[in-house]
A and B are shown apart, each in its own frame.
Chain A
Amino acid sequence: MDFNDTPAEAEFRAEVRTWLKANVPHRDKAAESEAELIRRAKSWQAKKADAGWACLHWQKEYGGRSASPIESVIWQQEESKYDVPAGIFAIGQGMCGPTMATYATEEQKQRYLPPMARGDEIWCQLFSEPAAGSDLAGLRTKAEKDGDDWIINGQKIWTSGAHYSDYGILVTRSDPTVPKHQGLTFFFVDMKSPGIEIKPIKQISGASNFNEVYFTDVRIPDAHRLGEVGDGWRVSITTLMNERLAVGSAGGPDFADIFRLAQNIEINDQPAIKDRAVRDRLATWYCETNGLKFTKFRTQSALSRGETPGPEASIAKIVSAKKLQDIGSFGMDLMELGGIMMDENVMLEDGMFQGAFLGAPGLRIAGGTDEILRNIIAERVLGLPQDIRADKGVSFNEIPTSR
């Protein structure tokens, strides 16, 4: 048992480090607008891609490096040591890419994957609807065949990045007369298509990262269908399995940040960290943070041996999103009334605790809610039976719905 790379892994890591050291651009995050963030992210992604460091585990001919999973992990570990603009490609490269790689034609893969890897084209995930989130298969956006095209009508919601995306993957209902999982059909769609209207939604944080996306008589060529007609659920599962790998741990303040704050702020005229109740909370978070870190190491060891990680990766999101919420909240407790201040001139630590407090609720919902992830672990890891469903075997158009 050790933390060491194999000689080949060590050599690879050294190569990665050398390249990153020479190439990571300086970043001044102060007043980085969304447009500026996108510009910087695209430029960094292109630089990586040109040197063979984009989407490492993808095949070379599709813009990747044909690297092993463990090499991808090593790259991520090293890149994450730098403050590089990231995130806007995560949905495309993490979920849309693998879905395209599995279901698109050879020509389509040649056309769409390399620009996705290079960040030239950004992709989004058009899954959730007002009446279909956790119960994704309850979606209603309608697809009707018209010659060689499909006509799409309906509404998607919570679509992250739709407003700056070039393409999206889309699940629709092509047949409402069969049980819900059977009547779905899956497409990829040009976000500039006539009939698509995107409206930003303001989140509790005040930012607008996600959107409503309306489809009015949008035409999609049948050639842009992924999987068979009526087989869209199976295609969606491919996306969702990759989502679980892509989401992973929550960003934001972690143990080290709350530890530092507790050392620097006072309660009863002494550092907060001397307070027994504070120490108790800190110890719990330290153990959770390390438990996750070493769980990752175990997964990585399995990757080293060539195994694929399963749904147990969901542990990371369940634990880290809650921890983030608690740390954000506790950080503000330590600041007392001053903790509510979000004025840039007076707030502490760049407002990371307030940011976590307002951001964490979204993490507990996005990419599978805490409850849905618990169901997944219960069923796929522990082998417990599925929930009893009221809609099993019922034609979609006869399923009871919210008012």
Chain B
Amino acid sequence: MSIMRYFRLIGMFIRAAIQNETAYRLNVVMRLLGTGLSLAGGIGGIAILFHNSGSVNGWEEAETLAVLGVYMLVLSLNGLFVSPSMHKLGGMGGEIETGTFDYTLLRPVAKQFYISVREWSVWPLFDLAVSLGVIGVAARRMEAELSASSLVLFLLSLVIALGILYSLMLLLSSIAFWYRGTYVLWIMGDLLQTGRYPIGIYPKPVKLLLTWVFPVGFIVSTPAEVLLRKSEPVTLLAGLILMLILFALSSVFFNRSLRKYTSASS
């Protein structure tokens, strides 16, 4: 399959998603409401956290706001296609459970590519815009200068974050092949919640756990730290290596799981 065809397919899936979403007009309102609530919750939490002191474990209020912005940014990128695609595969009422994965398996397209990019959601674009706004406000409060190099590094850290997130989601979705009727994708949502605030404000054991076992640190904190120039280059490198390892692992696991698929009986 040529590279061009992959891109055409992605374009196709995005188009289908937009066509699909137009079927639910009320969704626009609900989604806007959701974005507003999550923003209010995040800012409210920060306000409480810094009510009495100017800093928590060395984190300033504006910096924490930046972390919140990055958290929302990563989540919205995740919600754009990674999460919808993974839920269609291994979520509740997903294809593995209902047996419609039979059809997916018979498509003459590279399977991992297909299951990873076929479902898109357009609403996270709101969250995306809001998150960029939050990051902008935080940057102005800190009077930080955003140089081209730091932006490039930030983008790189975002790619690493999404790569890790994607790999973890793929691992969790693939579990559904082995234990049908088991949904573990929700774990991801709960775990990511912990990334709402800088990993640095947590006690050390929790911080270690969140960095290496459930790498929320790499998914949310590292990009934020890169943006705030608080990170060391080695962290980014470690993230990159972790991403590559997780990606390889999850791809192997997914393809092994395909063999395991026994198809829902009819």
Asked if A pairs with B, the answer is no
